[in-house]
Amino acid sequence: MRTSEPMSQQSSGFIEYDELFIGGAWGRPASAARLTLTSASTEEPLGSVPVADEADVDRAVAAAVSAFDQSGGWPSWEPARRAAAMRSLADQLEARAPEMARRVSSQNGMPIALSQMAEARTPIVTLRYYADLIERLPAEEERPGVRGGTTVVRQEPIGVAAAIAPWNYPQTLAAAKYAPALAAGCPVVLKPSPETLLDAFLFAEAVAASDLPPGVINIVPGGREIGAYLVAHPGVDKVAFTGSTAAGRQIAETCGRMLRPATLELGGKSAAIILEDADLNLPEIRQSLVRATLGNNGQTCFISTRILAPRSRYEEIVDTIATLVSSLTIGDALDPATQIGPLVSRIHRDRVEGCIAKGEAEGARLVTGGRRPPRLTRGWFVEPTVFADVDNRSTIAQEEIFGPVLSLIPYADVDDAVRIANESNYGLGGSVWTSDPRRGREVANRVSTGTIGINRYLPDTGAPFGGVKNSGIGRELGPEGLAAYRQIKSIFT
């Protein structure tokens, strides 16, 4: 529909951008600062992009405020018109899906088979889901008054939304914020993670080519300082963040002082409870079990990295998990055969290796993995690792590692398993494995968590996602995700 093309070039696979996408147009950033993105698989440079400074954030917020406040602006568009514009963005993302998957996997190490499903497809599904939702859900209703009269209850857009996305699922988790925000009528200022920016610029190209009006989506790449500045900006009305619990607490403190609503999806240390009757036939459950416990090389907040096994079958289950993990193909993230790719960076690999060393020092039994793959001399690789005989009070059982490290913990009976699962500061995901789905549901009901699966774990766009305890506040996805970007007005008649 629009304006200038990005000043970018690609030669020999190296991608360069010189402009930022703010206010519906590409333009020079206020600062000359740049970031170079590096391949997690090869350690080679992938591209170079500009980063925003505070002046760029000011411009982005101002553009979003204008898109919200101006006569005929985004909130005033009829739901069907907003939905059509959102579907046009979905179409533009669909046209870029193969390249989006490639860029994400190159940067953060996500196996390309997963990236093609999650990072290339899920944002498209999410946009179309919310476009459909606003066309069928009325924004207001009439209620008979208890004391007579009638009350009109209106759901109105909350205002400008600041969306801060992480590097592990950068496009999927960004879409979980901007899609419901757009549906509600809220313009967005998106801050992507500095570890994954090449995909964010490709997303900006899709926005520029879509039917969204200027200022409805603005992108300000940068680090923690830019994120903190955006969160505290007086022009922002709502914050949505996915990331660490430590960063979430800082955002919550800022938003609390400003009486600004925030949705925070934070860390996790989820438990997979394997019941005595579970059928662990690996050919049948292999894909579901790997996805639930080691998804994205362990770089997933909700995965069940604590595996709780009954003492009556403990060594059998240890052997089964070890067999599964040691059979996984480790390799370049862009190889379709890869099941475990590299971690996102050298710093992150060093941290994961430190956690593995801590597990050994605290007395856990290292069953398989725990080192760098000998044949892979470049890239940030760590073998998927299994510890047995883990004390639930130990560091590796209580702290989020965010890598391919599993802790097997024995339990006496179901009550003991539920107790162990709930003895965590987190409560984001989890799973129950059983041959009796009804019994699995009964156990799942007792686990203190925001989400849980039975014989699998796979979040659904139409269902609310989020955590309890240190795993966050609020919910994304589903109708509840749309409600997070609306405020309620009662009109008494």
Q: What is the pLDDT of residues 352-410, one digit of tens each?
A: 999 999 999 999 999 999 999 999 999 999 999 999 999 999 999 999 999 999 999 99
pLDDT band at 490 (very low <50, low <70, confident <90, very high): very high
Q: Rounded to a whole number, what is the largest CA-CA distance in the chain?
A: 77
pLDDT at 7: 52
Intrachain domains 8-266+471-492 and 271-460 with the same fold: no
Does residue 197 have a pLDDT over 90? Answer: yes
What is the chain's mean pLDDT, rounded? 96
pLDDT at 10: 59
Could you tell me how many helices (H) and strands (E) the chain has, helices first? 16, 24
Which helix (H) or strand (E) element contains residue 252?
helix 245-258
Cα three-residue angle 301-306-312, rounded to 5 degrees: 155
Tell me which residue has tokens 């690996």: 282
Q: What is the pLDDT of residues 89-120, one digit of tens each?
A: 999 999 999 999 999 999 999 999 999 999 99
Does residue 1 have a pLDDT over 60? Answer: no
End-to-end CA distance of the chain: 43
CA distance 207 to 61: 17
Q: By C-alpha distance, which of 146, 101, 104, 141 is closest to 121?
A: 101
| Cβ(73)–Cβ(193) below 8 Å | no
Q: By C-alpha distance, which of 490, 425, 18, 475 is closest to 240?
A: 475
Assigned token pair, 113? 């088979």
DSSP string spanning 57-103?
A: HHHHHHHHHHHHHSTT-GGGS-HHHHHHHHHHHHHHHHHTHHHHHHH
DSSP string spanning 203-230?
A: HHHHHHHSSPPTTSEEE----HHHHHHH
pLDDT at 56: 98
Q: What is the pLDDT of residues 268-314, one digit of tens each?
A: 999 999 999 999 999 899 999 999 999 999 999 999 999 999 999 99
pLDDT at 9: 58
Catalytic machinery residues: 265, 301
Does residue 65 have a pLDDT over 50? Answer: yes
Residues of the chain with pLDDT > 70, as a percent, come to 98
Q: What is the pLDDT of residues 19-33, one digit of tens each?
A: 999 999 999 999 999
pLDDT band at 84 (very low <50, low <70, confident <90, very high): very high
393, amino acid identity: R
- CATH class of the domain defined by 271-460: alpha beta
CA distance 423 to 330: 33
pLDDT at 12: 63
pLDDT at 2: 41
CATH topology of domain 8-266+471-492: Aldehyde Dehydrogenase; Chain A, domain 1 (3.40.605)
| Cβ(322)–Cβ(308) below 8 Å | no
Residue 228, CA atoms < 13 Å, CB-side half-sphere: 7
Tell me the pairing of strands 262-265 and 238-242.
parallel
Burial of 4 (0-12, 13-18, 19+ CB in 10 A): exposed
* Total-model pTM: 0.96
CA distance 324 to 316: 12
pLDDT band at 3 (very low <50, low <70, confident <90, very high): very low
Query: Cα 121 vs. chain centroid, distance in angstroms?
Result: 14
Q: Return the domain boundaries, the chain.
A: 8-266+471-492, 271-460
Q: What is the pLDDT of residues 435-452, one digit of tens each?
A: 999 999 999 999 999 999
- What's the rounded mean pLDDT across residues 27-51? 97
